[in-house]
Amino acid sequence: MNEATKNLGLTANARTVLEKRYLTRNEEGKVIETPEELFMRVAGHVASADALYGKSEGDVGAVAEEFYDLMTSLRFLPNSPTLMNAGKKLGQLSACFVIPVDDSMDSIFDAVKCAAIIHKSGGGTGFSFSRLRPNGDVVGSTKGVSSGPISFMTVFDVATEAVKQGGTRRGANMGILRVDHPDIMEFITCKDHNQKLNNFNISVGLTEAFMAAVETNSEYELLNPRTRKVIKKLKAREVFETIVKQAWKNGEPGIVFLDRINASNPTPSLGDIESTNPCGEQPLMAFESCNLGSINLAMMVENGEPAWQQIKDTVWKAVHFLDNVIEVNKYPLEQIEKTTKANRKIGLGVMGWADMLIQLNIPYNSEKALKLAEEVMGFIQTEGRLASSALAEERGPFPNYDNSIYYGEMMVRNATVTTIAPTGTLSIIAGCSSGIEPLFAVSYVRNVMEGTKLIEVNPYFETYAKAADMWSRELMEKIAEKGSLHDFKEFSDEVKSIFLTAHDITPTDHVKMQAAFQKHVDNAVSKTVNFSNSATTKDVEEVYMLAHKTGCKGVTVYRDGSRDSQVLSTKKEAPAQQEVHQKSKLLPKKRPSVIKGVTRLMKTGCGNLYITINEDENGRPFEVFTNIGKAGGCASSQAEAIGRLISLSFRSGIEQDEIVKHLKGISCHQPSWHDGGRVMSCSDAIAKAIEKYHPHSHGPEKGDKGNGKSKDRAEMLIGACPECGGTVEHEGGCAVCHACGFTKCG
């Protein structure tokens, strides 16, 4: 493997993401691993499973070499927990889990405990709250009344906020409620103002009976899950329209078609599937986990055609890899290990789909692209099952194989083989487009050290532009402002049709592509259907109906700018206030003789920085003092100067968020690591201390571990990355920043 390490084709952005999120660090937060060593660690650990099936040490070493080449060639990458934890003490390698929530206090709080353990290990969790009795229903043991599933969801949300995932990832949840639950209307609107349940994605579980009632404009029944008796009836279309309105408003809830999911349940005799993982692509039974990985289709093109033999070779090795992960995984709960090994579900998917289409000169929104999608995914599905069957011959089928009706006479090692997952940070590492999404931008701005901004250009477009003698930094900067070629007359319609972005594609075309892949996927497909800001609720409704008609198992929509409106609407008076400030001289408030506040320690590259924040009589931040424990000199004087200017700003009425925005992310030559987060400079440390300061609380908000990554912060809600300030794109059923690799879903 030593010779191969010289040839890693990682981009600078990929290496940055690996260093920031994946490479091993020591107790001081210093990176002590190279990307090459990471892939060696993962390959060796995953290959060790072969020893359990009689392979010699030499054979295991050869498999490790094979897995190393598979990853370092960027033809395949496993899900993030595997890259982060394989071969390390934590050893939890699965991305997604489903935990049951039954109708009792014991079950509810057992589920909270299980979720906390899973989040700490680096996984995401899905729950169905459909078994919980509705709000106002009788509680037999106390003769009181139930508060309903939504109130208990807040307990899960708070617990998630309090847990830091393995030091590198925050917890993420999926909450599902059946459409026939009596509390369904409250559930549909539970995230109306983005002020709670921020650690949850929510989806309504739609049934075929409900969809039929929508189409016929008739009523459907709500059932008490405790008694299974009909409580009342609702007009299906009114409920459906409420779902549509909320999704149009802020992207949630999503929808999942539960009956369709269970129609492809490989082990129906063991029970129904009630929930999915956080991004919706992995339906799982209670206490199941799944290991995911993605093939990079951008690497699978030869002579203007898909490289079928290379795809086949990659699929077979990837299935072997993912099956091995099941063996070497350290499961967070014994029950999860038992269920996972009984069904051995894996989820092999793809990334770089848009890149493949560009190389083949096929427009993303064409019939030819849809046909190729079915052909490519059908090929991967077939070869994946054949690879799983070959493993079954060698190692035996999954233990619950006798309960399966899915594969007919084909004996397989894995109950499911394929899934299309979001590939946020993985696609950055691989240097390709995300999942099966279109390009998110032809050109965009990436923030790097010292506040420098780099223009990142899609490599295929860069090659085209240079060959056509159309390359200039000025033009690339203009394209970066728009992201798309749509408004640029310099390019022909043919070129524009090849380099399409997510916002150049109609919502209908998004759904058609999702449906094309779903035809040959065991599990489900994670994809975002993007709408322009001007889209109507009718547009969203049509997409939902089309998704149902074309065989999708669920759908997530995002209307551009919809999640900023809630937050930004509270700041509409700001321009008027600014105008007043401009017309009159600002005089800072006088300091009272007695003032109270709190001092926070932040570790910086210049030493321990003590930051004191005092507040005025109204509980607003009023002044900042700083003291550096050891540095003195220039560093001390600069910190004092920053503190004085911040104090002047506070006393002049400048908002806390504005000060944080301008200071956070400023970097120096000597960054540090503090409480699980990177501190770029003294300025950055002061900004993060102010950001975590909550008036009257004299301490950080519950669940805030001091790294500035609390996901309910305004920056996350309004579409700006909470780590680098870049634009957050909604794709693959999640939110991801391509500038630094941050992803909301972990």
Cα(first)–Cα(last) distance of the chain, in Å? 30
277 in active site:
yes
Q: Say how far apart CA 730 and CA 736 lie, in whole Å.
A: 7
Task: Give the count of beta carbons closer than 10 Å to the beta carbon of residue 670.
Answer: 12
Of 104-108, 577-581, 583-587, 737-741, which one has max mean pLDDT? 104-108
Using alpha carbons, list the distances in angstroms from residue 708 to 253, 600, 667, 681, 715: 27, 14, 15, 14, 11
Q: Can you give the pLDDT at residue 725?
A: 58
Tens-place pLDDT, residues 704-730 = 433 333 333 333 333 556 666 566 777
- Least confidently predicted of 66-75, 176-185, 282-291, 559-568: 559-568
414 in active site:
no
pLDDT at 625 over 60: yes
pLDDT interval class at 696 (50, 70, 90): very low
Task: Write the DSSP symbol of residue 589.
Answer: P
Which one of 96, 114, 279, 734 is the catalytic residue? 279
Residue 397 preceded by cis peptide, ω within 30 = no
For residues 567 and 179, the model is more confident at 179
Take residue 560 and report the two structure tokens written for it. 């551009």
Which one of 277, 343, 414, 447 is the catalytic residue? 277
- Least confidently predicted of 182-196, 286-300, 703-717: 703-717
Instruction: Sketch the domain layout of the chain as residue ranges.
Output: 4-92+293-343+352-416, 96-276, 427-559+732-737, 574-718
For residues 202 and 8, the model is more confident at 202
**Interior CA angle at 688 toward 729 and 704, to 5°?**
80
- Run of H or E residues at 220: strand 219-223
Query: What average pLDDT does the chain have?
Result: 86
CATH class of 96-276: alpha beta
Q: Can you give the pLDDT at residue 709?
A: 38
Q: Can you give the pLDDT at residue 634?
A: 66
Q: Can you give the pLDDT at residue 62?
A: 98
DSSP string, 313-340: HHHHHHHHHHHHHHHH---SSHHHHHHH
Q: Can you give the pLDDT at residue 295?
A: 98
**Residue range 250-269: average pLDDT?**
95
Q: Can you give the pLDDT at residue 713?
A: 37
Using alpha carbons, list the distances in angstroms from residue 141 to 104, 105, 106, 144, 148: 10, 11, 13, 8, 16
For residues 608 and 636, the model is more confident at 608
pLDDT at 500 over 60: yes
Quick one: what percent of the chain has pLDDT higher than 70?
Answer: 85
pLDDT at 181 over 80: yes
**Residue range 675-679: average pLDDT?**
68
Tens-place pLDDT, residues 569-579 = 223 333 433 33
Q: Can you give the pLDDT at residue 203?
A: 97
**Residue range 616-627: average pLDDT?**
82
Rg (CA), the chain: 26
721 in active site:
no
Q: Can you give the pLDDT at residue 448?
A: 56
Q: Can you give the pLDDT at residue 676?
A: 53
Q: Can you give the pLDDT at residue 406?
A: 58
Q: Say how far apart CA 188 and CA 173 lie, in whole Å.
A: 16
Tens-place pLDDT, residues 14-63 = 998 999 889 999 999 899 999 999 999 999 999 999 999 999 999 999 99
**Residue range 319-331: average pLDDT?**
98
**Residue range 198-215: average pLDDT?**
96
pLDDT at 632 over 50: no
Q: Say how far apart CA 601 and CA 612 lie, in whole Å.
A: 9
Asked if 202 and 174 count as a contact pair (C-beta separation under 8 A), the reply is yes
pLDDT at 266 over 90: yes
pLDDT at 325 over 50: yes
Tens-place pLDDT, residues 393-418 = 999 999 998 776 655 678 999 999 99
Which one of 36, 252, 281, 731 is the catalytic residue? 281
Tens-place pLDDT, residues 353-403 = 999 999 999 999 999 999 999 999 999 999 999 999 999 999 999 999 877
Q: Say how far apart CA 247 and CA 254 lie, in whole Å.
A: 7
Show Cβ contacts of residue 133 under 8 Å, excluding neighbours closer than 6 positions.
103, 139, 146, 148, 224, 225, 226
